Structure 1
Amino acid sequence: MIDPETVPVRRVEWRHARRIIRSVHPPIDLFEDVADPEDWPLLVSAEQKTNPRLMETLGTIDLVPPERRVGGPGASYLMAPFTHVSRDRPSRFTIGEYGVLYAANAFETALAETVHHHARFMARTEEPEGWTSQFREIVLDLELDAHDLRNGAGAFDEALDPDSHAASQVLAAALHAAGSDGIAYPSCRNRGGECAALFYPDLAANAIQGRHLDYHWNGTRVDFYRDVTGGEVFRIDEDPA
């Protein structure tokens, strides 16, 4: 196990970072509203009386400390990863007990990461060939004091295993419990790319929607993506790393 005390902390400030999410997750009105986040519990209580499915949309707001909640335009893209949490959806830096917002320093890296995970899902469920789920590109700014796994000279390889999240989840849980902002790490899917895993929504800002994307599944892998806005289709190399 990696000792959390050996992981250096470095400032990460990325302008126009990229995150790609499924288009089935629309903006959440409450988070986009002008109301102060401190007033959300009262608004939720009132709204539930006429909209019993509200909590299904919002998720669990209590998972985010009140002082770390964000509101206003684009806030739903920052809040949703932390309010919709489930042990059925673990990832590299959480077993699903707390939320993580993942972002990359460039579009190509975000694309490679999501293509990999989408392909694994398509293969596991034996989906037929064709254009599949639509995605949204989210452009956002990040500022955090990150525990940095990018330059460990091999010391952090266990947490960067491309085929296992066991060690990274243990490390992240310890860092999260100790109050870490999050983790910066090299992309496992795009050589030279960098990613960040944020533990709180207020470490990101200015989230706006970018391109709409489609991925094409050929029965074995995702081989093309389409920019729906302009209609252009781009080939994805078989081994982007």
Structure 2
Amino acid sequence: MEHIKPEWKHHRVIHSKYPPLDCFESDDAMILGELESATSDRVAHWPRYVDESDFRYGPGWGPVMASFCYPAEGRFNTLSRGAYYAGDSLETALREWVYHSGKVWQGFGVTNDYSAVVRCYTGHTAEPLVDLRNQSQYMHDTNYAPGQRMAADLLNAGEYGVLFSSIRHPGAEAIALLRPSATTPVIQSGHYVLQWNGERFTQYARLEEYCPL
């Protein structure tokens, strides 16, 4: 297996309904212990999802840790094992987000015009990744089982993640980090509004700073 450490800045987009700060952002690790019996099961029992050697906390780690402690089904992860997905540009991250979120909105029958506000986080890959850019068997449009099995084997072997060709943004690249330590702390880079026309997301615009009324 060839290993590559991407030099580009990675971008990840999440819905702005999620709080920008959580207890993983604190520099004081004691906060986690104090909240252990009073907060989310995922926060209190993070060792179920992240190896102790990969645990990270402090500024810039909240969005990273959340992707592992609140996993969802994905190309290289399962409901019991998370991953941090990111793209090589804002547009790649947005295209990946609107594809997956669009399926959810369609499933809920959102047929009116709406908008969604998302925010972007950026960072840099900290460790070499397994290069899967020419491995088409893991790039099926909807069948994630081969990638999930392969990623589980890679994680057991101590690998940090994979580099692959973006399915939703042809010609672009994306990463799936299997361990939090595979990235630097991330920073928030901007908010964006995406327009939904009743069937799909059609356009986006950057939100500038709000002014008080």
What is the deviation of 1:59? 5.9
Matched, 1:47 2:35: yes
Alignment RMSD:
2.1
What is the deviation of 1:111? 1.2
Q: Secondary structure at 1:205's aligned position in 2?
A: coil
Q: 2:57 is matched with which residue: 61, 71, 78?
A: 71
Moved more, 60-69 or 203-212: 60-69
Evaluate the alpha carbon distance shift between residue 48 and residue 166 of structure 1 in structure 2; reply closer, same or farther with a 3 A threshold: closer
Are the counterparts in 1 of residues 68 and 81 from structure 2 also a CA contact under 8 Å?
yes
Q: Secondary structure at 1:197's aligned position in 2?
A: strand
Between the aligned partners of 2:203 and 2:44, the Cα distance in structure 1 is 33
Question: Where does the alignment leave 5 or more consecutive residues of structure 2 unmatched?
Answer: none
Q: 1:220 is matched with which residue: 195, 199, 203?
A: 199
- Which residue of 1 is the match for residue 45 of structure 2? 60
Evaluate the alpha carbon distance shift between residue 58 and residue 115 of structure 1 in structure 2; reply closer, same or farther with a 3 A threshold: same
- Which residue of 1 is the match for residue 7 of structure 2? 14
Q: Per-residue displacement from partner, 1:28-48 (whole Å, max 9, x unpaired)?
A: 44212122xxxx4x5434335
**How is 1:160-171 mapped onto 2 (pairs within 5 angstroms)?**
160-171=139-150
- Which residue of 1 is the match for residue 159 of structure 2? 180
Are the counterparts in 2 of residues 149 and 185 from structure 1 also a CA contact under 8 Å?
yes
Which has the higher Rg, Structure 1 or Structure 2? 1
What is the deviation of 1:180? 1.4
Q: Secondary structure at 1:215's aligned position in 2?
A: strand
Matched, 1:107 2:90: yes
Q: Which residue type is aligned with residue 226 of structure 1?
A: A
What is the deviation of 1:122? 1.4
Matched, 1:208 2:187: yes
Q: Which residue type is aligned with residue 107 of structure 1?
A: L
What is the deviation of 1:185? 0.3
Q: Per-residue displacement from partner, 1:8-43 (whole Å, max 9, x unpaired)?
A: 2312133421000111221344212122xxxx4x54
What is the deviation of 1:217? 1.3
Are the counterparts in 1 of residues 75 and 148 from structure 2 also a CA contact under 8 Å?
yes
Are the counterparts in 1 of residues 165 and 172 from structure 2 also a CA contact under 8 Å?
yes
Between the aligned partners of 2:153 and 2:16, the Cα distance in structure 1 is 32
Between the aligned partners of 1:57 and 1:175, the Cα distance in structure 2 is 24
- Which residue of 2 is the match for residue 190 of structure 1? 169
What is the deviation of 1:135? 0.9
Q: Per-residue displacement from partner, 1:174-216 (whole Å, max 9, x unpaired)?
A: 2222221111100001111000000111111141111112221
**How is 1:95-134 mapped onto 2 (pairs within 5 angstroms)?**
95-134=78-117
Evaluate the alpha carbon distance shift between residue 190 and residue 57 of structure 1 in structure 2; reply closer, same or farther with a 3 A threshold: same
Q: Which residue type is aligned with residue 227 of structure 1?
A: R
Q: Secondary structure at 2:126's aligned position in 1?
A: strand
- Which residue of 2 is the match for residue 30 of structure 1? 23
Q: Secondary structure at 2:6's aligned position in 1?
A: strand
Are the counterparts in 1 of residues 4 and 163 from structure 2 also a CA contact under 8 Å?
no
Between the aligned partners of 2:44 and 2:166, the Cα distance in structure 1 is 29
* TM-score relative to the length of structure 1: 0.79
Count of aligned pairs between the two proteins: 209
- Give 4+ residue runs of structure 1 displaced > 6 Å after superposition: none
Identical-pair percentage: 26
Are the counterparts in 1 of residues 24 and 62 from structure 2 also a CA contact under 8 Å?
yes
Matched, 1:83 2:66: no
Question: Where does the alignment leave 5 or more consecutive residues of structure 1 unmatched?
Answer: 1-7, 232-241
**Which structure shows the higher strand fraction?**
1
Between the aligned partners of 1:64 and 1:27, the Cα distance in structure 2 is 21
